[in-house]
Structure 1
Amino acid sequence: MAEAVACPVPPEQRPLEEFQQLTGSWFFSWPTPEGTGLTRALTLSWLLVLPICVLVASGDWTLRHEPVRLALAGSVAGLVLPLLLLVRQWLGWTYVLKRLLSESVEYEESGWYDGQIWEKPLSWREKDLLIARHEVRPILGRLSWAMATSAGLMLVGAGLCQAL
């Protein structure tokens, strides 16, 4: 039977609760195994911003008369939104990972910058470490792969646009 530990940290500021909030969130659940699918969500965001990027790129006089370069330039510019979404997810998941791996929990009691620090008991640290290693790190791995792919696509597209 697990020992009952009196925890002064408000429930919504506990690392395990923050992890559960992220996995339950529509946006942050994209890279989770149970999520809506990171690739699908990023592709949809790219497709939604693509017409706007092509329209903006068509304002360039030289691109206006070269439809292939125009489409390529708009496609590359459209990758900025998925990359920004990935960075936001990376920041959220990295924050939770640091909180899970920490041996103590920093928290606010009333929200008026009265920060306190509470040392996690060993049973909490073990549980948090397991979740960090087996759930959060794979999510960060998927996000890293997606960011590298997006950045690579941007570089290749920009290089092709210059070469044409």
Structure 2
Amino acid sequence: MVSSVSCPVPPEQRPQEEFTELTRSWFFTWPCQSQNDLDRALLISWLLISPVSVLVASGSWTLRHDPIRLCLAGGVAALVLPMLLLVRQWLGWSYVHKRLLSEQVEYEESGWYDGQVWEKPLSWRERDLLLAQHEVRPILGRLARAMALVTGLMLGGASICQAL
């Protein structure tokens, strides 16, 4: 941080600190490195929940006697977990992105909803803008591509299941 600027915002509520916190989080680092890392983590989550979703789908009388549709329906239903994980990551990263792009920082001094606003100095705005454009925006792009892929898989799987 710039030592010549006095900042009233508590350190844990500063946009750059929030960014750093997300990059240190096991869950939020999935989309940080590459699309392959994110896809691998989502595939693992899908594989872990698939047996449970197939088991739940086996409760359907019509699917119980059609193993192909049963596995397909369970696989499509299991895509809900990766989608929920993606939505949670999207919410976290888009919140930090918005805070980095903002010219002001909203913060709480005491935690009693005494919302304050502090105008970022120009040097902070420049640094935050660089972080938002070169670090967070690519992450949001990877998340958007993954959400589009999962949505396509869900729609394609549902239409195939319906056609069978």
Smaller-chain TM-score bracket: over 0.9
Corresponding residue number in structure 2 for 1:17: 17
Corresponding residue number in structure 2 for 1:135: 135
Asked if 1 retains the 8 angstrom alpha-carbon contact of 2:35 and 2:142, the reply is no
Q: CA deviation at 1:33?
A: 1.3
Q: CA deviation at 1:37?
A: 1.8
1:144 and 2:144 correspond: yes
Structure 1: state its 5+ residue gaps.
none
**CA deviations over 1:23-75 (Å, ceiling 9, x no partner):** 11000000001799211111111111100100010111111111110000000
1:38 and 2:38 correspond: yes
Q: CA deviation at 1:4?
A: 1.4
SS of equivalent to 1:117: strand
d(CA) in 1 for partners of 2:160, 2:6: 60
Corresponding residue number in structure 2 for 1:108: 108
SS of equivalent to 1:37: helix
Corresponding residue number in structure 1 for 2:50: 50
Corresponding residue number in structure 2 for 1:70: 70
d(CA) in 2 for partners of 1:86, 1:4: 39
Corresponding residue number in structure 1 for 2:124: 124
Corresponding residue number in structure 2 for 1:8: 8
With over 3 angstroms needed to count, the CA separation of the structure-2 counterparts of 1:28 and 1:157, relative to structure 1, is same
Asked if 2 retains the 8 angstrom alpha-carbon contact of 1:30 and 1:36, the reply is no
- Identity, % of aligned positions: 73
Counterpart amino acid of residue 5 in structure 1: V
**CA deviations over 1:81-139 (Å, ceiling 9, x no partner):** 00000000000000000000000000000101111000000000000000000000000
d(CA) in 2 for partners of 1:160, 1:36: 26
Where has structure 1 moved over 6 Å in runs of 4 or more? none
1:89 and 2:101 correspond: no
Structure 2: state its 5+ residue gaps.
none
SS of equivalent to 1:147: helix
TM-score by length of 2: 0.96
Asked if 2 retains the 8 angstrom alpha-carbon contact of 1:31 and 1:139, the reply is yes
SS of equivalent to 2:107: strand
d(CA) in 2 for partners of 1:24, 1:151: 28
d(CA) in 1 for partners of 2:35, 2:4: 32
